[in-house]
Structure 1
Amino acid sequence: MSISAAFFAQAQDVSAIRNSIDVYSNSPMTGSAKFNAMGGSNGALGGDASSLLTNPAGLGVAISGEVNATLSITSNKNTSSFAGSSYGYNINKGDLGNIGGIMTFQLMTERAWKFINVGVNFSNQSIENYVETPGNSNIIYDFDENNSSSLGRHAYDRYGNLSKTSVGVGANYNNNVYIGAGLNFFNLTMDQSDTASFTSLQNGSSELFSKQNTPYYERSSGFSASLGVIGKLSPNFRLGASLETPTFWDIDRSYNFYNDPVYGDDYAVENRKLTTPLKATVSAAFVASKSFSMNIDYTLGLTRPKYKEYGPAESELNDFFKDNYKNVSEVRVGAEYRVKQIRVRGGYSYASNPLDALTISRFNNDGSVGDESYGNLILNDRNALSFGLGYDFKSFYIDATYQNISTKYSNPFMQGTVDPANNIEAGYYSSNKLISSDSYAVSDVKNNRNNFFLTFGWKF
Structure 2
Amino acid sequence: MMKKYVGAALLTALCIPFLSHAQYAEDALRYSEMNQTGSARFQALGGNHAALGGDPSSIHGNPAGLGFYSRSEFTFSPGLTSINTKGNYLGQSYSNSKSLGNISQASLVIASQPGFQRRWKRSSLGISFSRQQSFHDTYNYGGLNNRSAYVDKVVADANGKSTPVSQLEADFEANGSVTGGPVAYSVPAAYYQMYLINPSGTSGFPYSAVDKNSVVNQFGTLDASGANTQWTIAYAGNLDDKFYIGGNIGFSRLRYKYTRTFEDSYVDSPELISVSQGEGLDVTGSGINLSLGVIYKFSPMFQLGGTIMSPTFTSIKETFTQNVSAQYVDGKVTGPDGTLITPPYTSLPIAPNDFEYSMTSPFRGNLGATVFLQNKGFITGTVEYVGYSGMSVRTKYLNDTDNQAFKTDTKNEITDSFRNAVNFRLGAEYRANLMRFRVGGAYLMSPYQNSDGIQRDKFLVSAGLGVRGNKFFADLSGSLAMYESAFTPYTLSNVQDYSSVRITNKPVNAVLTLGMLF
2:97 paired with 1:90: yes
2:458 paired with 1:458: no
Q: Within 5 A, what are the aligned runs for 1:170-181?
A: 170-181=236-247
The alignment's TM-score, normalised by the length of structure 1, stands at 0.83
2:386 aligned partner? 301
Contact 1:411 1:442 (8 Å CA) reproduced: yes
Contact 2:94 2:142 (8 Å CA) reproduced: yes
User: Aligned residue pairs: how many?
Assistant: 410
2:10 aligned partner? none
Q: Within 5 A, what are the aligned runs for 1:40-439?
A: 40-108=47-115, 110-124=117-131, 126-141=134-149, 143-145=209-211, 148=214, 150-201=216-267, 202=269, 205-210=273-278, 214-256=279-321, 265-302=350-387, 304-308=390-394, 310=403, 312-357=405-450, 374-376=452-454, 380-415=456-491
Contact 1:9 1:416 (8 Å CA) reproduced: no
Say which is worse superposed, 248-257 or 382-391, in terms of deviation. Answer: 248-257
Cα offset, 1:375, TM superposition: 4.2
User: What per-residue deviation string (whole Å, max 9, x for no partner) do you get for residues 160-187 of structure 1?
Assistant: 2221221100100000000000011111
Aligned-partner SS, 1:106: coil
Q: Distance in 2 between matches of 1:286 and 1:29?
A: 22
Aligned-partner SS, 2:65: helix
Instruction: Assess, with a 3 A threshold, how the Cα gap between structure 1 residues 438 and 255 changes in structure 2: closer, same or farther.
Output: farther
Cα offset, 1:98, TM superposition: 1.1
Residue type of the partner of 2:409? E
Contact 1:257 1:268 (8 Å CA) reproduced: no
Cα offset, 1:198, TM superposition: 0.5
The alignment's TM-score, normalised by the length of structure 2, stands at 0.74
Contact 2:378 2:428 (8 Å CA) reproduced: yes
Q: Distance in 2 between matches of 1:19 and 1:156?
A: 16
Contact 1:55 1:228 (8 Å CA) reproduced: yes
Cα offset, 1:78, TM superposition: 1.1
Q: Distance in 1 between matches of 2:54 and 2:105?
A: 16
Any stretches of 5+ residues in structure 1 without a counterpart? Answer: 1-7, 359-373, 418-435
Cα offset, 1:114, TM superposition: 0.5
Give the number of the structure whose residues are more often strand, by fraction.
Answer: 1
Cα offset, 1:148, TM superposition: 4.5
Q: Distance in 1 between matches of 2:404 and 2:43?
A: 41
Cα offset, 1:257, TM superposition: 5.9
Cα offset, 1:112, TM superposition: 0.2
Q: Distance in 2 between matches of 1:250 and 1:221?
A: 6
Aligned-partner SS, 2:105: strand
Cα offset, 1:404, TM superposition: 0.6
Q: Which runs of 4+ in 1 moved over 4 A?
A: 145-149, 311-314, 436-440
Considering only aligned residues, what root-mean-square deviation do their CA atoms show, in Å?
2.6
Cα offset, 1:191, TM superposition: 1.4
User: What per-residue deviation string (whole Å, max 9, x for no partner) do you get for residues 313-352 of structure 1?
Assistant: 5543321111221112211111111100010011111110
Give the number of the structure whose residues are more often helix, by fraction.
Answer: 2
Contact 1:304 1:325 (8 Å CA) reproduced: no
User: What per-residue deviation string (whole Å, max 9, x for no partner) do you get for residues 129-171 of structure 1?
Assistant: 1222112232333613588462511233322222122110010
- Percent sequence identity over aligned pairs: 25
Residue type of the partner of 1:278? F
Instruction: Assess, with a 3 A threshold, how the Cα gap between structure 1 residues 25 and 154 changes in structure 2: closer, same or farther.
Output: same
